[in-house]
Structure 1
Amino acid sequence: MEKIGIIVDSGCDVPQDIIKKYDNIEVVPLRTIINNKEYDEGTFSEEFLFEHLDEKITTSLPKPENVKLAIENMIEKGYNKIITLNISKNLSGTYNLFKMISEGIMKGNNEIEIANIDTLNISIGSALIVYKAVQYIEDGKNFNEIIKLIQEDIKNATVFYVVPTLKYLARGGRIGKVSAMLGQIMNIKPIISVNDEGIYYTVSKIRGFNRSVEALYNEILKYIGNNKFVAGVVISGNGEKVKKMQEILISKLKSFSNSIEVFKGKVSSTLSVHTGPDLIGIGVLRLNNGG
C-alpha cells in the first residue's frame, strides 16, 4: 500500500490549521540572515524581524541538511512515496535544492519515489496547492493521480497582495529605486501577483492603501468567477488596521455560496523581509473538478 507524504518549504506559508490537522506534512525552514547571524524560519519572532528590518538583512535557501533530514524522517515513518512542493523556482532556488537532494536519496534506495513539484507560486498561493494535495492523499488517490491533479491545481491557483511601502522591494532589487521613490511620493500601493511562469508582476498601481485593498479584492472576484474555491488571507505584522482588513476579507469570501474553505494566516519572515509589515494578500485555488 502506498503511504504518501508531503514536504514543503516555509515560503509556502501553509497555515497552522492545516499543518496541525495532517501528520503527513513536513515543513523545511527557509533562512533569514540578520547582521551576519543566520536564523531558521520559526526560530525568531515577527517582532524581532521588524525591529531589525532596516539593518543588514537577507534571506536564503534552507540548509541542505535540513532538506535531507526531512526526507529521511518521512522515510523512517514509512512513507515510501513523497511529494515535495516548493515556491516558484523563478523566485527562489529552493525547488532546485529539493530536487538535487531527492535525486541523491532515490539513487541509494529503489523503494523510495520522490516527485518534486514547482508550484509556480508563493505564500498562500502555494499553500492552497499543498492543502489540496493532502486532501487527495486522504481521499485515497494514488501517487501518479495526485501528481496529475496537483499539476491541474497549479494552473488554477493565484495570489494577489498589496504592500504598504515600496522601500523593501527596492532594497531587494525587485523594483527599481527610482520607481520606488516616485511610488512613495505619489502614495502608490501596487497590487502584485505571480504570472504563469512563477514570476512577480505588477497587476496595477493604485494610490492609497484602502483603495488598493479594494482593487485586490475585485481582482480575486474576477479570478474566481463562478467556480467553487478555497482561499486564504494572509498578513504581515500585527497592525490593528491590517488585522481588521484580514477579518473583513475572510468574512466576505466565506459568504459566497461557491466558497468551500477560507484560511487565515501570516506570511513567512522570508517574504516579510522583502515587503515589510502590513502586507495583505489573498490566495485562491479554483476547484474546476468540483472541489
Structure 2
Amino acid sequence: MYTFITDSGFDLPRNLKLPYDIKILPLRVFVNEKEYEDKVSISSQELYNLELQGYIPTTSLPKPEIIEKTIRESAEESEEVFIITISSKLSNTYDLVKNIAISMNLKNVHVLDSKTACIKQGYVILRAMEQVKNTGKLTQADIDKFEKESLLAFFVPTLEYLYKGGRIGKAKALIGKVLNLKPILTTDSDGEVSTLGTVRSMDSAILTIQNIVNKFIESQKITDDYTVIGAYTIGSMKTHFEKLIQPYKKGLIGVTDIGSAIAAHIGPEAFGIVVGKGVHLE
C-alpha cells in the first residue's frame, strides 16, 4: 500500500478517481485577524468574496503537529509514503515537512519538492501516482522530470496580491512598468513565479496563452497525447476560461476552482491551465 501526502497548495478536479489515498496538510490563511485552515474551515469562494470586499489575506505553513500526526499515521499504515509539497521557492512548507520527517527517522517516508503550485502541483502528483503504480518508486529526479514535461499558464489582472504576499519571484521585473499591462504567469523550473508575457486585454490574454500552449505541445511532441487541467476563480472568469480551454477539450480531464491559499496570493480574478504529457492512471 502506498500513501501520498501533499499540502493544500495543490488543486485537482474533485471528481478525479485516484489510484492512491492522498492526505492533505492544510496551509493556514489569515484574513482580518482571523485564522482559517485552507480547504477545511474556509472555502475558495469565501476567500474570493473577502478579497472582493478589500481584504488582503496572508498565509502560513501547516501546523507542525498536524504534519507529524499525518506522517506518523501514514507511515504506520503504508509500505511507502510520498510527500509532495508546494514549491520550496514559494513556501517554507517543504523545509518544515522535511525537517519533521527527518526527526521522526521513518525509512519509508520520502519528501519531495513539486517545484510548482496549484493545478500544476496537482498534475505533478498525478504523474507521480502513475509512476508509483508502474514501478513502485519515486524520486526527486522523477518529480523534476514531470515538472519539465508540463506547462502552467495563468492570467491575473494585477500583481498586487503577489507583491504584498512576497511571492512575486521573477515577475518582479514588471513592478513599476505601465500599470495597464496584465501579466501571464507561470512557475519556472526553479519553482519561482515568472512571466510568460504581458497583455493589455482579456482577449489578448486568451490568444497569447493559447499560442504559448500550442508551442509547448508541439515542442514536447505530445500532440496526440496530452493532459489538461483547468482552473478559474469567480464566476465572471468562467466565460474567459471557457474560451481559453476550447481548443484543448480532447485532453481536458477536469476543471477546478483555485484554492484559498493560492488565491490569497493571486487575487480573486484569475484563470489558467496546465498542460503536460498524457497521464494514464487506469
Q: TM range, normalised to the smaller chain?
A: 0.7 to 0.9
Give yes or no for contact 2:10–2:118 (8 Å, CA) kept in 1.
yes
Would you say 1:254 and 2:245 are equivalent positions? no
Larger displacement relative to structure 2 (226-235 or 279-288): 279-288
5 Å-filtered alignment, 1:240-251, equals 242-251=237-246
Indicate which of 268, 276, 282 corresponds to 1:277. 268
Of 143, 146, 157, the residue aligned with 2:137 is 143
- Which amino acid is 2:43 matched to? S
Kindly indicate whether the alpha-carbon contact (under 8 Å) linking 1:192 and 1:203 is maintained by their aligned counterparts in 2. Answer: yes
Q: From 194, 199, 203, give the equivalent of 1:210.
A: 203
- CA distance in structure 1 between the aligned counterparts of 2:4 and 2:146, rounded to whole angstroms: 16
The superposition leaves residues 65-101 of structure 1 with CA deviations (integer Å, 9 ceiling, x where unpaired) of: 121222223234x212111111110111111111112
The one-character-per-residue Cα deviations of 1:216-273 (angstroms, maximum 9, x if unpaired) are 121111111131321211111222xx21233343442123xxx3x5321111111111
DSSP 3-state at the match of 1:55: coil
- 1:87 corresponds to which letter in structure 2? I
Structure 1 residue 63, shift from structure 2 partner: 0.9
Structure 1 residue runs of 5 or longer lacking an equivalent are none
Structure 2: unaligned runs, 5 residues or longer: none
- Residue 274 of structure 1 and its aligned partner are, at CA, apart by 1.6
Identity of aligned residues (%): 27
The amino acid across from 2:80 in the alignment is: K
Aligned partners of 1:154, 1:177: CA distance in 2, in Å? 22
Q: 1:47: how far off? A: 3.6
Residue identity matched to 1:209: M
Q: Distance in 1 between matches of 2:266 and 2:114?
A: 21
The Cα RMSD (Å) is 2.7
Determine the C-alpha separation between the residues in 1 that align with 2:108 and 2:20: 19
1 CA distance for matches of 2:141 and 2:160?
A: 40
**Structure 1 residues 88 and 101: alpha-carbon distance in aligned structure 2, compared to 1, 3 A threshold:** same
In structure 2, relative to structure 1, the CA distance for the partners of 1:23 and 1:218 (3 Å cut) is same
User: Within 2, Cα distance between the matches of 1:254 and 1:178?
Assistant: 34
* Aligned partner letter, 2:61: L
**1:45 Cα shift?**
2.9
Normalization by structure 1: what TM-score? 0.83
| Partner SS state of residue 17, structure 1 | coil
TM-score in terms of structure 2 length? 0.86
Is 1:193 the counterpart of 2:192? The answer is no
Q: Which has the higher contact order (CA 8 A, sep 6+)?
A: 2
| Corresponding letter in the other structure for 1:229 | Y
Secondary structure in structure 2 of the residue aligned to 1:254: helix
Tell me how far apart the structure 2 counterparts of residues 136 and 195 of structure 1 sit (CA, whole Å).
22
Question: For the Cα contact (< 8 Å) 1:36–1:56, is it kept in 2?
Answer: no
Alignment of 1:231-246 (within 5 A): 231-239=228-236, 242-246=237-241
